[in-house]
Amino acid sequence: MGSAATQEHLSKSIFPVVIGSNDIINYFKSEKSSTQQYVALMVSTFKDQLKRLYGLGARKFIIVGTAAIGCAPKQRYRNMTNECNNEVNYWSKKYNDGVIQMLQELKSELKEFNYSFFDIYNIFIDFIQNPATYGFNETKGACCGLGRLRAQIPCTPLSRYCSNRSGHLFWDIYHPTEAATRIVINKLFQGVPDYVFPVTVQQLIAA
């Protein structure tokens, strides 16, 4: 393509970035530093990574926040009540807040930096609070796994499977089902203002 054409191609391309959930999950397995410092480090490191991508020619980004991972089956399994792990959710939300602020800073620092932030956290909260609206009848347990909530042992070829996977929010101990993912993607591309900002994906493409 040549250097000029490559740079033009990169400037028009969309770079989706989905990152952060595993870092938060693994932190609560080890807890090696204060949570606030750890989350701040996650955000600052992410900012450096985005600036590197920008330096290589990327200009348009879809940034996906972290979900309400404290409500995933594995996190619920750690509570005998099967309720969400509110501490994990709290820091997932704080990380998202930090990322939103960081993206606003980058937009001011880098004149051609454009982005859509996708708030998947509140989508999952809506799934859990209003399951019937989306066709779900099970939002706590996994479809594939073993033990309580099918979350004691992860999904393997020996696991038990639910009879109606489209009625489940979660496929395994952390990941959503195809039915849930389809709804999430539709909300992303429909540009629902509560979940996609400051511009829609369509507006990002046209920028």
CATH of the domain at 89: 3.40.50.1110
| In a domain? residue 152 | no
Q: Please tell me the distance from the alpha carbon of residue 39 to that of residue 23, in angstroms, as a whole number.
A: 9
- Measure the CA angle with vertex 62, ends 108 and 27; round to 5°: 95
| In a domain? residue 138 | no
SS3 content of the chain, % helix, strand, coil (to 5): 55, 15, 30
When pLDDT is averaged across residues 108-125 and rounded to a whole number, the result is: 97
pLDDT given at position 207:
87
Count: domains in the chain = 1
| In a domain? residue 156 | no
Q: Please tell me the distance from the alpha carbon of residue 160 to that of residue 158, in angstroms, as a whole number.
A: 7
Q: Is the pLDDT of residue 33 over 80?
A: no
When pLDDT is averaged across residues 135-150 and rounded to a whole number, the result is: 97
| In a domain? residue 49 | yes
pLDDT given at position 38:
94
* SS3 call for 79: coil
The pTM score is 0.93
What percentage of the chain carries pLDDT values higher than 70?
99
| In a domain? residue 163 | no
| In a domain? residue 78 | yes
pLDDT tier at 101, thresholds 50, 70, 90? very high
Q: Is the pLDDT of residue 32 over 70?
A: no
| In a domain? residue 177 | no
| In a domain? residue 195 | yes
Q: Which domain holds residue 106?
A: 3-128+182-206
